[in-house]
Amino acid sequence: MSLNSISFRSLVYSQYIYKLKSYIGLFNSLVVLQLLAILFALGGSGMSGTSGYGIRIDVNYYSADLVIIFTILWAFFSSILMTTRSYQEESYTFVTNRLSNNLSNIAVILTMSIISGSTALLSKPLMKVVLYVIGDTFFIEAETAISRMDQLSGIIATILYILLAGSIGYLIGTVTQMHRLLTIIVPVVFIGILVAFDGEGQFTSKVTAFYYQETSILLFSAKMVVTIALLCSAATLLSNRKEVRQ
């Protein structure tokens, strides 16, 4: 019998394609969630009204933020789901090792983030269309002059946030898969530390300042990419000796 060897790169690619096909259910849930978020967002996030001189003006505020928040949560939980047993077992049905499995998972999370980020941002024009069709609306943009560069920054930042949520979920999922008790210990320790040592919120505000208040998109991207890379490497290292198909 002739023995074969397989190049690592083509294996990761095969796994990536295989997972995209078999995880299609995750994308279905994304569509449902985003439509739901749009529906909620169409309720408006605030309104004020004024009338005088025989004219009445109602100002409604609409924002697609909810869609993005839903998408971030979706990415977080989908990534946790990908580390659960049945998903892992499915990955190990065909040729794989731990590293290629992790890399293809991360590639899938990256793809999920790009697709879901794009559709989340596209929800804004969709909402406009819906509001227009409903009628009686005159649009005023919140930020009147958004440059192309700012738009691009917005897209990149959104995708990076979703990707960050995905990598956090992936790491948490990987850690909790190592032992059943960790499912309880990890969240308790995490929240416990925040409550016990971060009573005045100094740590959280520092973290927020580090990421959220970064004004340069380049610096922001660099910080995010490094963080995401660290999270993913941690997950990869932790699962590298894990036994599968228990």
Partner 1 sequence: MGLITCEELSKSRGGENALNDISFSINENTITGLVGRNGAGKTTLLKILSGLWRESSGKVHVLEEHPFNNLFVAVNSIYIDDQMVFSQTLSLKDILIEAERFYPNWDRELANRLFEYFQFHPKQKHGQLSKGKRSTFHMILGLASRCAVTIFDETTIGMDHAVRKDFYRALLKDYLTVPRTIIISSHHLEEIEELLEHVLLLKHGKKLFHLPIDDVKNYAIGLTGRTEIVRQWVKNKQIIHMENVGVNSSYVVIKNDPFDLDQARRLGISVSPVTPSDLCIYLTDQEQGRIDDVFK
Interface positions with partner 1 (CB under 8 A): 1-6, 8, 11, 14, 17-18, 21-25, 86, 89-90, 92-100, 240-241, 243-245
Place of tokens 């294996």: 11
Question: Closer to partner 1 at the Cβ: 58 or 90?
Answer: 90
The CA distance from 226 to 223, in Å, is 5
Q: What share of the chain is helix, strand, coil (3-state, %, to 5)?
A: 70, 5, 20
Question: Closer to partner 1 at the Cβ: 104 or 153?
Answer: 104
Question: Closer to partner 1 at the Cβ: 91 or 153?
Answer: 91
Place of tokens 């320790």: 189
Question: Closer to partner 1 at the Cβ: 16 or 62?
Answer: 16
Query: Kindly report the CA angle at 228 between 22 and 207, in degrees rounded to 5?
Result: 135
DSSP 246: -
Three-class DSSP labels, 4-70 = CCCCHHHHHHHHHHHHHHHCHHHHHHHHHHHHHHHHHHCCCCEEEEEEECCEEEEEEECCCHHHHHH
Minimum CB–partner distance for residue 111 and partner 1 (Å): 16
Minimum CB–partner distance for residue 98 and partner 1 (Å): 5
The CA distance from 85 to 235, in Å, is 15
Minimum CB–partner distance for residue 232 and partner 1 (Å): 18
Minimum CB–partner distance for residue 116 and partner 1 (Å): 18
Minimum CB–partner distance for residue 18 and partner 1 (Å): 5
Question: Closer to partner 1 at the Cβ: 13 or 211?
Answer: 13
Query: Kindly report the CA angle at 34 between 20 and 30, in degrees rounded to 5?
Result: 20
Phi, psi dihedral angles at 242 (to 5 degrees): -75, 140
Question: Closer to partner 1 at the Cβ: 11 or 121?
Answer: 11
Question: Closer to partner 1 at the Cβ: 20 or 186?
Answer: 20
Minimum CB–partner distance for residue 6 and partner 1 (Å): 5
Minimum CB–partner distance for residue 134 and partner 1 (Å): 36
